[in-house]
Structure 1
Amino acid sequence: MSDRLRPESESTLAATAAELLSALRETPPLTHCITNTVVTGFTANVLLALGAAPAMVDIVDEAGLFAGVASGVLINLGTPTPEQREASLEAVAGANAAGTPWVLDPVAIGALPVRTALAHDLVAARPTAIRGNASEILALAGLSAGGRGVDATDTPDAAIDAAVALAVRHGSVVAVSGAVDLITDGHRVVRIANGDELLTRVTGGGCALGAVMAAFLGAARTTGTESLVAVAAASLAYTVAAERAAMRASGPGSFAVELLDALASVQPHDLAAAAHIEERAL
């Protein structure tokens, strides 16, 4: 961990993250997920453990209606079947019409033509937030051919210029996941150095984070919290829980179970106490 990313228990961001977690649990946000078939169950369980209310609605002629009543929406391109592609476009239109915040997770874009074209269509609709690994963010910005499937071959710092450009161009908060998460709205950059390597050894570790961001953005609607802070709060809550889970796990299998328990048991004050955050203006 960088010496610059010191614990900041008094920081405004960490304090707001704690408040948002409390708000989320007091009024569970209905979190609409169109996500890949590999991680649907895990994602739903992550949201339930955290305190949100998941709904995995990816049916054409229902997705748009549901996005209009949801608190937050996730569009994940991990397995973009023809019906999911149509449902995603429909859900984004419904979310935008209703003012529902939504998250785009452009999984494995770059060299794969179907999902890459869809990602560019969706990002033009101005997502509230974009979450991906560094290679996916570079590919979405048109600066690389992507990573090795769903795995990044670039570091978050290598994608900072691309993330800032995407944030400015589309009015989105861009979150680049990695050993140190990088989050920007084009004007500020937040780095969060919490988490554990075991997150990369469980299917759905990154995809579920996109859903958590959608849930926190939904909670932020009720508190008036800005999107950058909500996305950073989601990353902090998720990665602090991952650290707690890793301390009790003996490997990836037990970690997946421990992560659900840690998400359920993590308390608002734990976020402030464990945060390793750096925030700076651009």
Structure 2
Amino acid sequence: MENAAPARAAHTAELLEAVRARSPLVQCITNTVVQNVTANVLLALGASAAMVDVPTEAGPFAGIADALLVNTGTPHAEPRAASVEAARAATTAGTPWVLDPVAVGSLPVRTALARELLALRPTVLRGNASEVLALLGTSAGGRGVDSTAGTEDARGSAVAAAGRTVGAVAVSGPVDLVVGPGAPGGPGTLVRVGNGTDLLTRITGGGCALGAVIAAFTAVTDGDAVAAAVAGTTVHTVAAELAARDAAGPGTFQPLFLDRLAALTPEDVVRHARVTEESTA
């Protein structure tokens, strides 16, 4: 796969154009802390956000939306019911969807919910290493929303799950990891994205918004979960890295990030993306 990395960056640039041309409608069942951030990030990307998280509405809307994000950050009773309803409807309708299992592991309500959702086979599972490990049954979780494991620690579990339990696994960290299946009978694909900035961890919703960005890309990748996860991660982190150059701190970073995301060009993606790819053999 020596020549795969430049091809990934070029494909991501094409997918960015596709998102802006189509403006996919992303249904977001996400935590109350980050709803505004998530909606603004999707709008800056060129997508559209709909926070439809009420039972009896969430399911039908999942059949209308172009993609669905389910985030377990504040699992109150109604959003819990809406999450399961929407995920089931998305699976039936063929709507791609992303599961972001925020703070699973030691907290019983969200952990049970996330495992129920995982059984519905999300297109992409996205989380930090501790969240991914806890949901896939190989650790007890991190410190709340903060990971206590590194992305490479989650590699084995992600490889085992990709293409079986989920379409692809995206593990966030200083270097992001995306794992997916390869050709039938062959090894899987592992992509590392080395862009980003520590400032993403110092604002509310940096990771949660990434789940929504990946969901937007699932709407334009014709079932290629790896391409969606790589494209969403790359675009999000490249924009953040460029914004950080002009930021004095987290307070100025957040609006600069939205501006950079809105202004990001396909050429920016190709020029700045630090992507490597290998097989999981």
TM-score norm. by structure 2 comes to 0.95
SS class of match (1:219): coil
CA shift, 1:171, in A, is 3.6
Q: How does 1:264-275 map to 2 (within 5 A)?
A: 264-275=262-273
Name 1:3's counterpart in structure 2.
none
CA shift, 1:162, in A, is 1.2
Structure 1 consecutive aligned stretches of length 4 or more whose deviation exceeds 3 Å = none
Name 2:185's counterpart in structure 1.
none
Taking the aligned partners of 2:229 and 2:279, their CA distance within structure 1 comes to 17
Taking the aligned partners of 1:143 and 1:135, their CA distance within structure 2 comes to 9
Is residue 2:19 matched to residue 1:29?
Answer: no
Is residue 2:193 matched to residue 1:198?
Answer: no
**Unaligned stretches of 5+ residues in structure 1:** 1-5
Distance 1:270 1:201, change over 3 A: same
SS class of match (1:208): helix
CA shift, 1:143, in A, is 1.1
Counterpart pick for 2:172 among 162, 165, 177? 177
* Partner AA of 2:165 in structure 1: H
Taking the aligned partners of 1:80 and 1:171, their CA distance within structure 2 comes to 22
Is residue 2:51 matched to residue 1:53?
Answer: no
Counterpart pick for 2:248 among 240, 250, 253? 250
CA shift, 1:225, in A, is 6.4
Counterpart pick for 1:91 among 86, 91, 96? 86
Work out the number of aligned pairs and report it.
Answer: 273
SS class of match (2:219): helix
Is residue 2:111 matched to residue 1:116?
Answer: yes
Distance 1:93 1:239, change over 3 A: same
SS class of match (1:37): coil
* Contact 1:9-1:273 within 8 A present in 2 as well: no
**Unaligned stretches of 5+ residues in structure 2:** 182-187
TM-score norm. by structure 1 comes to 0.94
* Contact 1:10-1:272 within 8 A present in 2 as well: no
Is residue 2:151 matched to residue 1:156?
Answer: yes
Larger mean CA deviation between 136-145 and 37-46 belongs to: 136-145
Name 2:184's counterpart in structure 1.
none
Name 1:67's counterpart in structure 2.
62
Name 1:208's counterpart in structure 2.
209
Distance 1:143 1:268, change over 3 A: same
Distance 1:10 1:85, change over 3 A: closer
* Partner AA of 2:231 in structure 1: A
Equivalent pairs: percent with the same residue? 55
Taking the aligned partners of 1:225 and 1:235, their CA distance within structure 2 comes to 17
**Aligned-pair Cα RMSD in Å:** 1.4
| 1:229-251 C-alpha deviation (Å, 9 max, x unpaired) | 11101100000000111011100
Name 2:220's counterpart in structure 1.
219
CA shift, 1:219, in A, is 2.1
| 1:88-139 C-alpha deviation (Å, 9 max, x unpaired) | 0000011011100000000000000010011111001000000000000110
Is residue 2:97 matched to residue 1:102?
Answer: yes
